[in-house]
Structure 1
Amino acid sequence: MSVEELNNLPFEFHQDKPHFPDSLRRFIQMSHQLSLLRDQVNILEKKAIDPNMKRGMSPKKLHEVTNMSAVVKETAAKAGCDVIVDVGSGLGYLGQVLHVSYGYSVVGVEGCSGHVERAERRSAKQDLQNGCICNVTFNLEQTREHLNTFQDRVSEAVRNLKPCVHSQTAVNNSCQVDSKLISEKDTKCQAGALSPDVSPNLDNINSRKHVSPERSCGNCVCVLKDVTDNTAGAVLNVSRMWSSGNESTHTTLNLHDNDNQQEHPESGNVPVPVYSAEERRVCMIGLHCCGDLTPTMLWYFLHMSTIQSLCLVSCCYHKMSFTEESNSFNCFPLSENCQTVYSDLKQQHRSWSLRPVSFRLAAQETRSRWRTQTEADHDTHVRHVAYRGLLELFFMEAEITQLDRKVIRKADFSTFDAFSESIITGLDVSREVRADYLCHLQELYIRHKPHFCYVEIITCLQVLVQPVLETLLQLDRHAYLVEHGVVSELVPIFQENISPRNIALIANKH
């Protein structure tokens, strides 16, 4: 295959390629059918971020903060929330933008005290020490004791918050996106204020396609809504992941309560409502919720009455806690339907189960970046994967258990000789042993070099599996909320090629 053909493999069904095995064509087709769409929705209400607040933000972080702050504003407004609790707030970038640009009081919750101190210093430099932003050091754990402590800490912080001084003065600007990140979608969404007859809500921010997993007849379906033509919405039935019932016609439900939304015709930029300390309503958010943090936040969300809405983006699925003895994750599956199906599958296939390596694949790069790879990019990736594989094999055969990983530099991957020298130099051994090790590595290289050609093919198959595994996790979490009576949806809010973990889980208790 040419580089172009290899890059396009995950994007085509290949019915016109008779030399492809039927099993490969089915595999590619199924990977599409079992994956959520990843095209970023068109977010009309983005605002320009003050240049001083951009300091320290990478282009990726700026893209994420710009888009997520607009989505959080819409989510909080629907639930009537005037306080944002940002879990895993880090240096406070997102909370500061929500405060200044959208007029919300913010409580930042961060497990690292060093990050909290740096966030406080950054707020001071931005002249935000006005009692509208508070940072709390706390690690969320899924225990009743931690829940009670968290509730007390947040309640105390909320009581001490002052109404946001920016809520009356936030200015509606079209978003100025960094030129490195701009796309056709971003160009379209810089049109400015909404027309008088349009209410600003997530229903209206979809420029092309949007996937809403919805519950109907006991099954979970993905509804593909394409507003670019007049065809009926195609329904992709993935109920086999959730139910063994018969496939049937599904009546889909509208997740938005448009009739109960208050319209603000001028610009959609309405002052945030101010409640008393006892009445203040909270929207809990999280950007890059790692490992067990997402399921823990969902549990807190369901158990705390003051938290009315939720908006989070997950990452690092492979860091979820896993128990080797029971060969199971502590926080997956969450939904009852997924638990039942997963248990049945493990009964049918005794040697099979999902493990951390499975969800490490779910957290890898997505198809969009694979499509842009050059021949040089593929060659570089082959060397990195192959050389590290040879290194692992060498350590196993030579029974070496310790290596300073810092000795491996980017330049060391230029050739295998350079790579070998960098590895052996970092070992505390004699000159004779070092020479033996170099010979051993060279033998491994000669023996396995014919297999290097398979690296990119296997990687391409991984690229096809990645969205299926991530979709499974996302739909399980969505179903978990729906089973508890919570309105929720999955929305791609970032450009996939900029931020691969781009699907936000948005929920509202009412």
Structure 2
Amino acid sequence: MSKVGVAQLQTRLDGLLAFLNPHWDFVNCHMVNYLTDQHWEGFLPETLRSDISGKESVDMAIENLFWKNDESVKTFLHWRQFLDKGKQQHLAHHSELLTSVEKLIKGQDNVVQLSIREFMSAKKCHEVELTAALVNHLIKNSCQDCYIVDAGDGKGYLSSRLALQYGHRVLGIDANAENSQNALSRNRKLQRAWNGLTERAELQSQGITPKRRGKKSPTRDSTKSVPALENYKTIARFITTELNFGSLLAEHFQQLPQERNPNICLTGLHTCGNLAATCLQVYHAQKDCRLLCNIGCCYHLLKERYSKQEFFGNKAVMDMQTDYGFPLSQYLQKRQVRMGRNARMLAAQSIERTLDSKELPNVTLYYRALLEVLVCRHAPQLKNELQVGKMRKIENFQEYIQKCATKLDAPWLAAITADELNSLLHEFSLDKHYLDLFYLMRMSFAPILESLILLDRMLYLKELGYEHSYLIDLFDPVISPRHFAIISIKPLT
């Protein structure tokens, strides 16, 4: 199995930055300011703008460039060329940097991956099944006598599966104490139902539709053992490089000999924000962490080394973060690479899911841009200051403004007449369609920005000498937008 080297990663990062450097202002713009700051004219080159002339042209561009991507249609050539250059930057287009699960795991065992859909969504089921199977294979092939630490355990979806199906000893760690208690409660319910769930899953894997159990259904085989609860523990802690996993495991697993340090597999399924980067730093700081399997998410919550102080929704969590999450690699630190919060927000969006569903942005995005026009006209001191948040079940623009006025306690907004609102809609009616196309073009940068974050993490591990580090495209990107896993294996000494 060929290994990706430091120079190879540096070269790819150079290519990414060369593509992104002219567009940092574009990917960091905010859709709130689309109308007030004239984003269409400000960020799109004239060659692209000249290809679009009116609603019908916009609709054709969206259909041909995004929904169908029909290369036989010889229109919007400048747009197509721009989008194609961007696609060449996606990780998916650089297979030399990716490792398949099949190549990573040799001699896979025949443990059935049970499709247990109860107690979680179909999306979470997809993620848990594949991650649990991968972690199990990694442990069996690389470090059999191993304890698992699940960072950012949440509701215990992954931990429960690793403990119940595969019999591993798992310590789930979450910063939220309530999450830790809920994870244990969920695991108890899952434990009681486990045999029934596995029986159903086994029948379904054979193409048999199991009958629903009624009150008078015969009792299941009582001789079949129920998985033990003792191999899954939870604890509420904020994870840093100083948190000693070995001591925590010794405290919660009494069978662990006090005189030796345990081998640890550090995993995390969609570890939020800085936690993903922290996991890589903990893996390096604690020699007993032999395996790493991390899938990150919530890139907007990363603490950047070279960006100015930014707004974060959860200030309490932000204040606890002591280490920087981007860039991690010395290579990007020397170049003082910075992304910006809006770019990181964009990195977490899913162009794959949008294209699959052919879904344009919710109309409230347009309404929010119109609201900012009203701010500039009636309360200019509040420009870029209003935090509206999501508005659901909105019938029209008038209702949107009414709800915003109430939510923001803004009498000036409530006083705006229906006539003025209707006039505003008429004034910017064509901009609604241009906004949709602008939105899709900007979203096309999402996989490029995510590639920058992930390759920085990979290079960080390689710079530290962890040669057995891999990037795996683990999930279906339409089902699970954050679908890349970072794996690292320390050779046993």
Q: TM-score range by the shorter chain?
A: 0.5 to 0.7
Query: Which of 409, 425, 430 does residue 450 from structure 1 map onto?
Result: 430
State the TM-score, normalized to the length of structure 1.
0.64
Name 1:182's counterpart in structure 2: none
Q: Which one-letter code corresponds to 1:78 in the other structure?
A: N
Name 1:62's counterpart in structure 2: 125
- In the alignment, does 2:470 pair up with 1:476? no
Query: Which of 397, 401, 409 does residue 416 from structure 1 map onto?
Result: 397
Name the CA shift for 1:438/1:404 in 2 (closer, same or farther; >3 Å): farther
Residue deviations 1:225-245 (CA, integer Å, cap 9, x gap): xxxxxxxxxxxxxxxxxxxxx
Name 1:214's counterpart in structure 2: none
Q: How does 1:50-449 map to 2 (within 5 A)?
A: 54-81=117-144, 82-125=146-189, 126=191, 130-142=229-241, 147-157=242-252, 159-160=253-254, 278=260, 280-322=262-304, 326=308, 330-340=324-334, 342-343=335-336, 353-373=338-358, 377-378=359-360, 381=361, 383-399=363-379, 409-412=391-394, 414-426=395-407, 428=409, 434-436=414-416, 438-449=418-429
**Is the Cα contact below 8 Å between 1:88 and 1:110 reproduced in 2?**
yes
Shift of 1:498: 0.6
Residue deviations 1:135-187 (CA, integer Å, cap 9, x gap): 11110135xxxx15455324433x5257xxxxxxxxxxxxxxxxxxxxxxxxx
In the aligned structure 2, how far is the partner of 1:383 from the partner of 1:498?
24
Q: Which one-letter code corresponds to 1:453 in the other structure?
A: H
In the aligned structure 1, how far is the partner of 2:436 from the partner of 2:259?
57
Q: How many residues are aligned here?
A: 373
Shift of 1:440: 4.6
Structure 1 or 2: more strand by fraction: 1
In the aligned structure 1, how far is the partner of 2:415 from the partner of 2:345?
36
Residue deviations 1:161-219 (CA, integer Å, cap 9, x gap): 57xxxxxxxxxxxxxxxxxxxxxxxxxxxxxxxxxxxxxxxxxxxxxxxxxxxxxxxxx
In the aligned structure 1, how far is the partner of 2:59 from the partner of 2:356?
10
In the aligned structure 2, how far is the partner of 1:277 from the partner of 1:438?
75
Q: Which one-letter code corresponds to 1:20 in the other structure?
A: F
In the aligned structure 1, how far is the partner of 2:299 from the partner of 2:167?
33
Q: Which one-letter code corresponds to 2:452 in the other structure?
A: L
- In the alignment, does 2:489 pair up with 1:504? no
Shift of 1:404: 8.8
Q: Which one-letter code corresponds to 2:247 in the other structure?
A: D
Q: Which one-letter code corresponds to 1:288 in the other structure?
A: H
Name 2:112's counterpart in structure 1: 47
Instruction: Give the SS at the match of 2:300.
Output: helix
Structure 1 or 2: more helix by fraction: 2
Shift of 1:291: 1.2
Q: Which one-letter code corresponds to 1:117 in the other structure?
A: Q
Shift of 1:357: 0.6
- In the alignment, does 2:88 pair up with 1:33? yes
Residue deviations 1:225-283 (CA, integer Å, cap 9, x gap): xxxxxxxxxxxxxxxxxxxxxxxxxxxxxxxxxxxxxxxxxxxxxxxxxx997253111
Percent identity between the aligned chains? 25
In the aligned structure 2, how far is the partner of 1:64 from the partner of 1:56?
14
In the aligned structure 1, how far is the partner of 2:463 from the partner of 2:471?
15
**Is the Cα contact below 8 Å between 1:382 and 1:456 reproduced in 2?**
no
**Is the Cα contact below 8 Å between 1:123 and 1:129 reproduced in 2?**
no
Q: Which one-letter code corresponds to 1:334 in the other structure?
A: L
Deviates more, 1:292-301 or 1:147-156: 147-156
Instruction: Give the SS at the match of 1:282.
Output: strand
In the aligned structure 1, how far is the partner of 2:115 from the partner of 2:127?
15
Instruction: Give the SS at the match of 1:495.
Output: coil
**Is the Cα contact below 8 Å between 1:31 and 1:467 reproduced in 2?**
no
Name the CA shift for 1:89/1:427 in 2 (closer, same or farther; >3 Å): closer
Name 2:197's counterpart in structure 1: none
Q: Which one-letter code corresponds to 1:362 in the other structure?
A: A
Shift of 1:410: 2.7
Gaps of 5+ in 1: 163-274, 347-352
In the aligned structure 1, how far is the partner of 2:121 from the partner of 2:69?
36
Query: Which of 16, 20, 39 does residue 76 from structure 2 map onto?
Result: 20
Shift of 1:330: 3.0
Instruction: Give the SS at the match of 1:160.
Output: coil
Instruction: Give the SS at the match of 1:460.
Output: helix
**Is the Cα contact below 8 Å between 1:424 and 1:437 reproduced in 2?**
no
Shift of 1:461: 1.2
Name the CA shift for 1:428/1:318 in 2 (closer, same or farther; >3 Å): closer
Shift of 1:355: 0.5
Q: Which one-letter code corresponds to 1:56 in the other structure?
A: F
In the aligned structure 2, how far is the partner of 1:433 from the partner of 1:10?
37
Name the CA shift for 1:140/1:450 in 2 (closer, same or farther; >3 Å): same
Name the CA shift for 1:294/1:443 in 2 (closer, same or farther; >3 Å): same
Gaps of 5+ in 2: 1-56, 103-107, 193-226, 311-322
Q: Which one-letter code corresponds to 2:328 in the other structure?
A: L
